[in-house]
Amino acid sequence: MGFSHLMSSKRYNHRRHVEGRSHLFTRDDTVLHARDDCEPADPPDTVTDRLNTLLNSSGPGYTLPLCPNEQYLIQDTILFAAPNQEISTVGYPEGSDRATLVVSGAVVNGNGQTTAVDGTCANCSGVRLRHIQVNGTRLGQGIISGGANIEMGGSNSDQLIEFVHSFDTRSWSCLHIAEGAFACNNVTVQNNDIGPCGSQDFQQWADGISMSCQNSLVRNNMVNNPTDGGIVVFGSPGTLVENNVIWVETQTLLGGINMVDYDPWKGNFTNTIVRNNLIKGGFADGIPSGNETDGANVDDVIIKIGLAIGPRTWFGDQYGNNVSASGTVLNNSFTGAFGYAIAMSSAFNFTVEDNVLTGNTSFIGARGPNCSSSDTLPNPAPFIIDWSSVSDSTTQVDMQNVTDGNSLTCIMPPEGGDFWPFGGNPSASQSQPSGSGSSESGGSSGLSGGAKAGIAIGVILGVAAVGAATYYIRKWALARQAARRQSTWNGPTGTY
């Protein structure tokens, strides 16, 4: 498939096995026998109907067993049909031996199948999607209008998506948890490896994880090479987003974690908490020589905004005076090359504290062709805030005030030059930010020793904020099973 699989058997310490199931592949000199404990992928011309018939006819609690190492060439969406159903690979593998649903429906005149699995039916509470892969097969083509690779949520509760690899969506997101009639509640998205998603070409972008369900949990996910938002939080009051890793390698990303969308929750982020996530921008290629701290990146890759708060950062004045309200952003870490680590505007009653730079960082970028001539683009910098549109909020002391925080994703990375910090990206052998009892500390080394100032070849190079050199990175002490916060939110209202 051309994409690396990030999960390894060492990555999580709670690998699960199904009691009483064994691998039934037996091999003689010439024959590989089919196993009889899972639904076969062949013949491919009937597999879509067979899988859907099993879900439709088997009722609540049924597990649809897929075969390890098999690719299911589905021509249409696989639909959950009853409460507490599960789709999973037999034996619950976590790596490349997970069964793969391959989106294979025809595309005609830019229209066709975009969704592999849908769990938004009216009776889909408690459904589980586990230990599988979904290949959206965009294959470098243009974006298609339609649902995400995986569509879950809806007016349901208690769904689970875990140990899933979703990548190369034909549409706008690799994984979407929909709000339904604002009745979606308590969906857990954990331990997944997501991406690549979309193309960095203009308006060909795609999210990694798109969360619009209230009182939900997004944790311990690895999101690699998304292009629109790594994790996009659409209000989702009462939701906890923690302990995720988002990084880029070959494509520029608009935003690492986004809290910018006014719709559908009317900007309501009450009790929504984004904490202890690691966001990694672009890095220099190769190995530094001598005392080098910065080098070239062959793909000119950055994350434009590491963590974006408020609709104006993204959409300019499209939503007028509407704001993102009442969210909390704590203890997130940023490393690599960005336009801005955190950008905040058009926000009310937000708390933004103790977010830090770690390892080598650079802040680079210049006005792009899609920047409005009426906007004054702030110089790239770690933490910026437009106080003219932010009220009743508590923010960390190193937020730099700017006069215009609108439409910041219009910046473009430099073309060439030694502006990218040496560092690295997560690999199959690296764990995510660790759980209870572990820490990641950096002291004053949180600032890039190679961050550069000034203008070179038309590129604005940012510097770490004044005073941040003594800013200590507090230790991460994360509880994997954090106490869930309950929201009293009962539905969308008007503007704040």
| pLDDT tens-digit map of 316-349 | 998 899 999 999 999 999 999 999 999 999 999 9
| DSSP assignment of 242-294 | ES-EEE-SSS-EEEEEEE---TTTTTB-TT-EEES-EEE-B--SS---TT--E
Place of tokens 């899933």: 164
Per-residue model confidence as pLDDT tens digits over 143-194: 999 999 999 999 999 999 999 999 999 999 999 999 999 999 999 999 999 9
* pLDDT tens track for 86-98: 999 999 999 999 9
- How many helices and strands, by DSSP H and E, does the chain display? 2, 40
Please, which pLDDT band fits residue 291 given cuts at 50, 70 and 90?
confident
User: 490: burial class by Cβ within 10 Å (0-12, 13-18, 19+)?
Assistant: exposed
Given this model, what pLDDT does residue 34 score?
58
Distance CA 423, CA 281 (A): 10
Domain residue ranges in the chain: 1-171, 217-496
Q: What is the DSSP letter of 200?
A: S
pLDDT at residue 15 above 50?
no
CB 55: neighbour CB atoms within 10 A? 20
Residue 278: name the closest of 355, 214, 350 by CA: 355
Structure tokens at 54: 């099993």
Of 341, 344, 343, 321, the closest CA to residue 333 belongs to: 341
Q: Is the pLDDT of residue 378 over 90?
A: yes
CB 305 within 8 A of CB 428: no
Contacts of 79 (CB under 8 A, 6+ apart): 52, 55, 56, 117, 118, 121
AA letter at 383 = F
| Range with lowest mean pLDDT among 112-121, 157-166, 172-181, 455-464 | 455-464
**Whether 126 contacts 103, CB under 8 Å:** no
pLDDT class for 227, splitting at 50, 70, 90?
very high
* Three-state secondary-structure class, residue 389: helix
Instruction: Decide if pLDDT at 11 tops 80.
Output: no
* Residue reference for tokens 């569509």: 151
Residue 115 to residue 118: CA distance in whole angstroms: 7
- Chain centroid to Cα 103, Å, comes to 21
How much of the chain, in percent, has pLDDT values that exceed 70? Answer: 79
Mean pLDDT, to the nearest integer, of 25-46?
70
- One-letter amino acid at 400 equals Q
Q: For residue 18, what pLDDT is reported?
A: 31
